[in-house]
Structure 1
Amino acid sequence: MTVTVPPSPTATGRWPAIAAACVTVVLWASAFVSIRSAGASYSPGALALGRLLTASLVLGAVCLVRRVGLPPRAAWRGIVTSGLLWFGGYMVLLNWGEREVDAGTAAMVVNIGPVLIALLGARLLGEGLPRPLLLGMAVSFAGAVVVGLSTSGGGHASPLGVVLCLLAAVSYAAGVVAQKPALAHAGALQVTTYGCFVGTLACLPFAGRLLDEVGRAPLGASLNMVYLGLFPTALAFTTWAFALARTTAGRMGATTYVVPALVVLMSWLALDEVPALLTLAGGALCLAGVAVSRHVPRGGRGPGGV
């Protein structure tokens, strides 16, 4: 399966995709705070279903207002695969895994996802592995490990939790690579909406648990679940698909290495959790690695717009 990479856009044309990618990583970083809050009252499957139901209602309403039709037949394979693996499987596995391991260990394990995206993109999508991307990802992964080590003190890491986080990373990577070809045939809103519908259907077995827990959960936890559906899912997954359609899966995956640095900053500002110097150093490495992965040699053609 090969996807033709679009020509490198002009600097002006790149800005909408860059802005979309920025919106995505900021909202995904904020999701970690909300998951930590809502996860204390909702089980992994119920939280995933509540989040996806909220996103599906919003995205469905937007599609009705904008009169967005069904995606073309050629896009459905990627939509269904990404919906099952990413929207459904990844969310349940990550919610479950973060109950079994401390946040630092989860961050280190899940951050193999961008590496897997680059490798799968090179193998299945013919994207290649340019040297700046490989070097940048190595630097960013080292930063993620530093952040994880600096925040793991006193935590716990069960073998089950590590396996769950590893499976979450694999599901995330496979879902992204499956989504990329679909975006050649359908728009970002279509791919996101129907992928979300598929993920919601896959999580329906947790409906009974969700109904039971929503009646006992505090208002704050339920509001966090709704927030996860509205912003890190409905909005951020759409902006992600918009940007992914304009660059390679490998480079887009590398962008998510900004997330650990943003989580450190948000925890500092919102939760008054002052980061250690080692944590700040790891966050700086994550940012530096993303900058390196975005570098295009002088006179060269970038593989995408972001």
Structure 2
Amino acid sequence: MLITLLWGYAWVVMKAALEYMGPFMFSSFRFGTGAVTLLLVVWIMKIGLPPKEYWKHLIIVGILQTAIVFLLVMYGLMFVDAGKSSVLLYSMPMFSSLLAVRFLHEKLTPAKSIGLAIGMIGLLTILGWDIWIGQPAEVIFGEVLIIIGAFSWAVSNTYFRLHVQDLPKIQSSAYQMLFGAIAIILVTVFTESGEPVSWNLDLIYYILFSGVLASALCFTVWFIIMSRLDMVSATISTLLVPIFGLLFSSILLGETMTIGILAGSAMIITGIIIATVRWKHPRVGDSHARSS
């Protein structure tokens, strides 16, 4: 609940920040701040450097989860509303679940399958038919970029479970974010180095919130969740993020809250309950005892 609430509000922050600087520049400051914060905590806790055999895996996770996802998302946000962008990115549980079955050999139980299906229908309900018809080309382009980002995040989740989850979570979060931030900074240097930045207190707040809370804190907690829950249960719960994203976007950015959005949100919550609650089935002996 903590990270879904913070990540939901972060969509408003990311959209608002585009008024003051380019999308890649903001991502550089966001994840640079997040990486510095986490590395400082690692230093205070005297955790040290990760073993050499993990460095290539941390680089890959950093590229997949931090660099690719947020370069695509921030660029896509230039064309797509913040609320709908959050819905598109959180198609991630669908991709993660399929990859978990294929590469992690997790079982997709009937309850999880039904819950996931209802949640994804809820996402499509929120998006509405305008995702399919009547949209400008640049909006469709932005939406495609965000969906690619969702797939990259799903691949990162699977790769983390296979190669990185044995490391201390704050250490893995710190170094993957460092490598991801370096990649984003390199892209920024080549694409936005000459663009103006309008510094003010609002922008500083956006950078600090997104860097310290939405990145350093939330992704560390996310890695903890990923190491303790199966992939489907962990990722399907993030479907709450677009609900918070839509709510905050409606209140703070004036984006439209429709009946479809409310109905889709109800479906998402229903899907999460079905997929994550442990349903108890009566044993044969218990049924026989009651009938006796």
TM range (shorter): 0.7 to 0.9
Question: For 1:155-204, what per-residue CA distance to the aligned partner results, in whole angstroms no more than 9, with x for missing partners?
Answer: 74534223312221111111111112344320110110011011011112
Q: 72, 79, 86: which is aligned to 2:65?
A: 86
Match of 1:185?
166
**Structure 2 Cα separation of the partners of residues 200 and 267 of structure 1:** 26
CA change 1:31–1:98 in 2 (3 A) is same
Q: Give the Å deviation of 1:100.
A: 2.7
**Structure 1 Cα separation of the partners of residues 224 and 51 of structure 2:** 17
Aligned pair count? 279
Match of 2:277?
295
Q: Give the Å deviation of 1:103.
A: 4.3
CA RMSD across the alignment: 2.7
Match of 1:23?
2
Normalising by the residue count of structure 2, what TM-score does the alignment of the two structures yield? 0.85
CA change 1:244–1:104 in 2 (3 A) is same
Deviates more, 1:240-249 or 1:210-219: 210-219
CA change 1:240–1:234 in 2 (3 A) is same
* Correspondence list, 1:58-207, <5 A: 58-103=37-82, 106-149=85-128, 156=136, 158=138, 159-205=140-186, 206-207=188-189
Any stretches of 5+ residues in structure 1 without a counterpart?
1-21, 301-306
**Structure 2 Cα separation of the partners of residues 29 and 91 of structure 1:** 15
**Which protein shows a greater Rg?**
2
Q: Give the Å deviation of 1:64.
A: 0.8
CA change 1:229–1:151 in 2 (3 A) is farther
CA change 1:106–1:284 in 2 (3 A) is same
Match of 2:286?
none
Asked if structure 2 preserves the Cα contact closer than 8 Å seen for 1:115 and 1:137, the reply is yes
Deviating runs (4+, > 3 A) in structure 1?
Answer: 72-78, 101-109, 150-157, 207-215, 267-274
Amino acid at match of 1:125: L
Amino acid at match of 2:227: A
Any stretches of 5+ residues in structure 2 without a counterpart?
283-292
Match of 2:30?
51
**Structure 2 Cα separation of the partners of residues 77 and 121 of structure 1:** 22
